[in-house]
Amino acid sequence: MILDVNHAAFRYDPLRLIFSDISFSLKEQEVLCILGPNGIGKSTLIRCLANLYPLCAGCIRLHNRDIRSLKYRDVARVIGYVPQAHEITFPFTIRQFVLMGRAPHLGLFRSPGGEDHAKADEAIELVGIGKLADKPVNEISGGEYQLAMIARALAQEPEVLLLDEPTSHLDFGNQIRVLEIIDRLARSGLSVIMSSHFPDHAFLTSNNVAIMQHGSLIAYGLAEDVVTEENLKATYGVDVSITYSHDVARHVCVPHKAGQCRCRDLKQPECSQRRIALMPAMR
Amino acid sequence: MVSFAKLSTFLSEVPATVGQLTSRITAGATGTVLIYSLLPLIFICSLFFGRYDVSPLHVIQMLAAPVADLVPGNLIHIEHTWSAAEENVIYQIRLPRLIAAVLVGAGLSIAGAAYQGLFKNPLVSPDILGVASGAGFGAALAILLSWNMALIQVSAFCFGILAVTITYLLSRFYRTTPTLILVLSGIIVAAFFTALISLTKYVADPYEKLPAITFWLMGSLAAVRYSDILMVVPFFAIATALLLLIRWRINLLAVGDDEARALGIDTKRMGQVIILCSTLITASAVCIAGIIGWVGLVVPHLGRMLVGPEYTRLLPACLLLGACYLLVIDDLARMLTNAEIPLGILTAIVGAPFFAYLLSRKSVGWI
């Protein structure tokens, strides 16, 4: 076990409990996907795992040692944290940005040296943005920025990668590309915890899935066991179908009702009539 | 006005030099070399300018004489062709003044650059936490109480430190978003001390003390002596050295607190170190030169245009550019009119259009 979470609970202020009684553990090369609706505390949980926020009850153990007893620097050598994309004020180049991942391996007064530059370049190549290395981070696309942040976490040479919604704000192709990279990293020996809004991503990459709802985990286990029609209905309040697709050789998750009113089948009276009824009002 | 003609030819070359520098941004290393050679050049030239006319040749000879004396066996001999008055002007008036300009310019710039990284905001200046208002009140109070020059400086220094301490303690009361609260606390404390300054001015004797307070607050290097410089040099040296040592890590703070901590940085401790260093530098600068705005805000931008945002190169560049900037501004303060113009006025009157010009000719990544 790399990471053990026991009855973890967190609150920002005494009145507002974000989550409680969360327990799970992470093995080597395991990919754990955390699903849950907006604002339920997935990001907060990931920040707690990265030792950014202290728990109010329970504990997180990293290699069997309480994470709060470790220094930031010692945690950073084991855990790489990839936050959600945010604005950066100053136009650092991608290479300078990724190089910052070497911080936990450098002394207080040291600047990165040749070896650190080599490791940063290696990480940049690994995520496939080598051509952009000298571009400023605020002039690249959201997908490239996400990859740059993953590269920075890789430059840390961590054992665990924590990714907070790595696919949000990305287009369809970039989502799959990021998931492929995560999958590749897991196969090369990293353990991964990621949060996601798409149940399908659980089938694409994960071994285990944890579903957060009402401040705790309502389901935790293998993706095929946990991502079920009932659980998703309970979590997101929408009807979905989980079917096995032989074309792609995995389970897929398909929502039922989206786009009901824009159907092409005009014979459906409810749809077309409502449209016509709306039209004068729209003028 | 021989020296004034010299100054104007010198000034006409400044835009060309700056143009050369900005065009070298891609070849950043070359830019750095140019910046490094600029400071000694401007420093020596600045010795030529002043109310009392001393010929440049005499200045050079005067500077070279002590060095030549050090060479054993009288191998080099420099004729003492200059008068005692000239020597007095150069060594007792201009030299300490220029050294102070270098210290204050370099210090305010490096403090500003460090704060801009700490607060992740390019609009921050070194007095964001109230150090200038605090020091201003300290000086105003000391002038009101008819204390001597040394005590005015000590009072300014202490009140500057006190203001930042209050700001920091105030920000500890609230637990959310530390940087934002710190800035807000700084605004509160600055407003408070600014009001106290106004109160001091209001009760001050309008014929003697009120003008003294007003001129002090506008900033000047005219009265700087070696003893003043010796008093603040240790603070400047230690704080600047510390900032330079941790400069690579300021990059991480500039990206984000959470990320910096996830990368193993003790952000709280590091923030304290940066605030302490910047406050010591700014308080020292204010206590020998009065309140000089704008330098700590503009020079870091100038530095970023030349060498990029990366702090291992930005901080040394800011040190040199800040020193050059204040040397040139102080030359203007001495030369433009018959009376001295207060520095705080000139830094903005010259700096603002210059900065506007720079912004207009280059797209800037951070605005």
Cα–Cα distance, B123 to B119 (Å, whole number) = 9
B253 band by pLDDT with thresholds 50, 70 and 90: very high
Cα–Cα distance, B288 to B300 (Å, whole number) = 22
Average pLDDT value over all residues in chain A = 86
For testing the chain A interface, which of B123, B255, B265, B313 should be mutated: the one with the most A CBs within 10 Å?
B255
H helix intervals, chain A: 42-49, 72-76, 94-99, 114-126, 142-155, 172-187, 199-205, 223-226, 229-236, 269-282
Q: How close does chain A come to B117, measured CA to CA in Å?
A: 9
Closest CB to A101: pick one of B256, B263, B309.
Answer: B263
Give the pLDDT of residue B22.
46
pTM of the entire structure? 0.86
Do B103 and B117 contact (CB within 8 A), yes or no? no
Do B301 and B357 contact (CB within 8 A), yes or no? no
**Helix, strand, coil in percent for chain A, rounding step 5:** 40, 25, 35
Do B135 and B144 contact (CB within 8 A), yes or no? no
Task: Dump pLDDT digits (tens) for B149-206.
Answer: 889 999 999 999 999 999 999 888 876 667 888 889 999 999 999 999 999 999 999 9
ipTM metric: 0.84
- The residues pairing with A65 across neighbouring beta strands, listed in sequence order, are A62
Q: How close does chain A come to B278, measured CA to CA in Å?
A: 18
Task: Dump pLDDT digits (tens) for A61-118.
Answer: 999 999 999 999 999 999 999 999 888 889 999 999 999 999 999 988 888 988 999 9
Q: Does domain A3-78+158-238 have CATH number 3.40.50.300?
A: yes
Q: What are phi and psi of A206, to 5 degrees?
A: -90, 155
Give the pLDDT of residue A214.
85
Pair of tokens at residue B132: 């200038």
Distances (CA, A) of A69 to A18, B248, B335: 23, 27, 62
- Residue A139, chain B, CB below 8 Å: the answer is yes
Question: Residues 151..170 of A with a Cβ closer than 8 Å to B: which?
Answer: 156
B319 band by pLDDT with thresholds 50, 70 and 90: very high
Q: Is A193 helix (H, G, I), strand (E, B) or coil?
A: strand
Do A32 and A206 contact (CB within 8 A), yes or no? yes
Give the pLDDT of residue A259.
56
**Is residue A173 packed enough to be buried (19+ CB in 10 Å), middle (13-18) or exposed (0-12)?**
exposed
B19 band by pLDDT with thresholds 50, 70 and 90: very low
Q: Which residues of chain A have pLDDT under 50?
A: 271, 281-283
Q: ∠ CA(B359), CA(B365), CA(B366), 5° rounding? A: 85
**Measuring CA to CA, which residue among B57, B48, B54 is closest to residue B9?**
B48
Cα–Cα distance, A272 to B89 (Å, whole number) = 94
CB contact under 8 A, B256 and A93: no
Give the pLDDT of residue A264.
54
Maximum average pLDDT range among A245-254, A266-275, B257-266, B343-352 = B257-266
Distances (CA, A) of B121 to B297, B316, B367: 11, 20, 10
- Give Cα A138 distance to the centre of its chain: 21
Q: What is the DSSP code (8-state) at residue B298?
A: H
Residue B26: closest C-alpha in chain A: A134
Closest CB to B262: pick one of A76, A106, A111.
Answer: A76
> What is the set of domains in chain B, with CATH numbers?
2-51+83-361 (1.10.3470.10)
Do B335 and B3 contact (CB within 8 A), yes or no? yes
Cα–Cα distance, B277 to B270 (Å, whole number) = 11
pLDDT exceeds cutoff 70 at B10: no
**Chain A residues whose beta carbon lies within 8 Å of the beta carbon of residue B256:** 83, 86, 88
Cα–Cα distance, B173 to B186 (Å, whole number) = 14
Do B324 and B42 contact (CB within 8 A), yes or no? yes
Q: In the predicted model, what is the mean pLDDT of residues B235-251?
A: 95
Domain borders along chain A are 3-78+158-238
**Chain B residues whose beta carbon lies within 8 Å of the beta carbon of residue A138:** 365-366
Give the pLDDT of residue B151.
92
Cα–Cα distance, B248 to B254 (Å, whole number) = 10
Task: Dump pLDDT digits (tens) for B81-101.
Answer: 888 888 888 888 899 999 999
Q: Is A190 helix (H, G, I), strand (E, B) or coil?
A: coil
